[in-house]
Amino acid sequence: MYCTYRTESTKLFEEVETGLRGLNAGKPNLSVWAALLDNLIKGTTLKDVFMVLNCPAPSYSGLQCNANKVGPLIVDMVREDLKRERTLLIYVLESYGFPRQILIPMEGTRCPDHPGKCTTSIQMDQPIGREDLATEEICQDLLSDSEPTYIGQITTDGDSAAYRGVQIAMGEHGQTVEALRDTRHLAHSQKKVVNNAKISDMMFPG
Sequence ranges of the domains in the chain: 103-196
Cα separation, 186 vs 60, in Å, equals 39
Dump pLDDT digits (tens) for 14-49.
888 777 787 777 888 888 888 887 777 777 888 888
Angle at 40 between CA 34 and CA 43, to 5 degrees: 60
CB under 8 Å, gap of 24 or more: what pairs does 128-135 form?
Answer: 130/161, 131/160, 131/161, 131/162, 131/165, 132/161, 132/162, 132/163, 132/164, 132/165, 132/168, 133/165, 134/162, 134/165, 135/108, 135/162, 135/163, 135/164, 135/165, 135/166, 135/169
Average pLDDT of 165-174? Answer: 88
Which residues is 35 bridged to in the sheet?
none
Dump pLDDT digits (tens) for 172-202.
888 888 888 777 777 777 788 888 888 777 7
81 or 118, which is more confident?
81
Radius of gyration of the chain from its Cα atoms, rounded to whole angstroms: 25
Dump pLDDT digits (tens) for 40-98.
777 788 888 888 999 888 887 887 887 887 888 888 888 888 888 888 888 888 888 88
Q: What is the pTM of this model?
A: 0.52
Confidence category of residue 120, pLDDT binned at 50, 70, 90: low
